[in-house]
Amino acid sequence: MRHASGISESDLLARLARFQIETPSWGYADTGTRFGKFLQDAAATTVEEKLADAAEVHRHTGCCPSVAVHVLWDFPAPANEADVRRVARLAESVGLRIGSINPNVFQDACYKWGSLTNRDPVIRRRALEHVLDSIRVGQSVGSKCLSLWFADGTNYPGQGDIRQRKRWMSEGLAAVHGRLPADWTMLVEYKPFEPAFYHTDLADWGMAYVLAKDAGSRARVLVDTGHHLPGCNIEHIVAFLIDENMLGGFHFNDRKYADDDLTMGSIDPYQLFRIFHEIVSVEQDRGGVAAGAKADLPIAYMIDQSHNLKPKIEAMIQTVMTAQEMFTKALLVDREALRAAQSREDLVASENCLKDAFATDVRDLLREHRRAHHLPPDPLAAFRASGYAARAAAERGPRKTAAASSYA
């Protein structure tokens, strides 16, 4: 069968089958806001539990085979080789692999005034050593992706020498890249504010682009969809970075106001569709879905969400299903009609090419894809029916209560 867009159903299903998305270990753990933390009985507390939960998401969706890890949150500090390998084995035992490695140079008190941009060379060195250690951890667990985010910045005008800090950040990133294994990618993430409220050293895609480019040929920009000021045209950034061969990956989540960490597509699914449209357009130019994996852009699709109130695994499955839906809709854009409408400056028809695809109900197609891969046609319903959450709550909840009362 052929869709209005001209894409054949088998091409579409084949591309969909290659669409994978990485879930974050921290998305399964209890989290909160600075105003409080509401514990969930079923939320994971150990790395074993986080991996078991991530495996549930993969088992029901079939498209989340890897898990991003945060070094200090998932490995004992300092991590020895045996601990690290144990985590890799655990992942393997539940049918997963460890994906991106996220160093943590924002939590320790020594980073109060910055990490790679700290005035004190001892702290800059310490941050660098932690990132290099993280690469070693990554090598032991079979990762190929170093994902960097820095909280570095200042809170008041005059607090720091912005140009000097830029040079320190640049030196640090180049030093990290110098030690990056040949087959690795290094992703540089930006964020306009929080925790710094006056200036952030890597505040936007342009800064991340320049510093990644200076760092070396395997550094790319990571776009966290929650890290933009209101009204920002994220798909424009995505298109621009792809054209510069500088888009390395995504941290997907949705937001209404700031870095809200809401589940993807809960606020603006059309934005996510437009992002995928930019990606799929380039893949079409590279030969289209018919060209197979050769045409796929090497983009690490990752989720970065901390679910405060929703049950963690359900929120993750809901996110994954939304991602698949929006990606499929983007595959349905009639690109020939779009190009023709664009060349006539027919704005209404051009826009409708996008809106028609966005309005198409692709849920049957997705059910078909899942059936073909022996997956439950409705992963969320299947997870709910499995009883996993209730079992996890029964097992983990009392342990949490006991731990909480022993601190009281």
Residue 29 Ramachandran class (φ > 0 left, ψ -120 to 50 alpha, else beta):
beta
CB of 386 to Mn ion, least distance (A): 29
Nearer to ligand PSV, 79 or 222 (CB): 222
- The item of Mn ion, ligand PSV, none sharing an interface with residue 259, based on CB under 5 to 8 Å by kind, is ligand PSV
Q: Which is nearer to ligand PSV, 224 or 278 (CB)?
A: 224
Q: Pattern of binders to ligand PSV over 238-257, x per CB under 6 A?
A: -------------x------
Q: Give, rounded to a whole angstrom, the gap between the first and last alpha carbons of the chain.
A: 64
205 makes contact, choosing from Mn ion, ligand PSV, none, with CB < 5 to 8 Å by partner type, with none
Beta strand 185-189 with 153-154: parallel, antiparallel or unpaired?
unpaired
Give the integer Cα–Cα distance in Å for 13 and 16.
5
Identity of the residue, 41 or 254, whose beta carbon is nearer to Mn ion in the bound complex: 254
Contact set with Mn ion (CB under 5 A):
224, 251, 304
Cβ at position 191, least distance to Mn ion in Å: 7
Which amino acid appears at position 218 of this protein? R
Residue in 13, 16, 26, 311 binding ligand PSV, rule: CB under 6 A = 26
How distant, in Å, are the alpha carbons of 225, 271, 305, 405 from that of 253?
A: 6, 11, 6, 34
Burial annotation 53-67 (CB, 10 A radius, 16+ → b, else e):
bbbbbbbbbbbbbbb
Residues 6+ apart with CB under 8 A from 209: 221, 241, 244, 246
User: Considering the complex, what minimum distance in angstroms separates the CB of residue 306 from Mn ion?
Assistant: 10
201 touches, from Mn ion, ligand PSV, none (C-beta below 5 to 8 Å by class): none
State in angstroms the smallest separation of the CB of 251 from ligand PSV: 5
Judged by CB under 6 A, the chain residues 288 through 327 that form the site for ligand PSV are: 304, 306
Closest separation in Å from C-beta 4 to ligand PSV: 38
Residues 143-202 that bind ligand PSV (CB under 6 A): 149, 189, 191
Question: How far does Cα 303 stand from its chain's mean position?
Answer: 3
Q: Which is nearer to Mn ion, 307 or 369 (CB)?
A: 307
User: Which residue, among 285, 272, 287, has the nearest Cα to 325 in the 3D structure?
Assistant: 272
Residues 6+ apart with CB under 8 A from 111: 105, 118, 123, 127, 151, 152
Q: Report the nearest approach of ligand PSV to the CB of residue 372 (Å).
A: 34
User: What residue ranges bind ligand PSV (CB under 6 A)?
Assistant: 26, 102, 149, 189, 191, 224, 251, 259, 304, 306
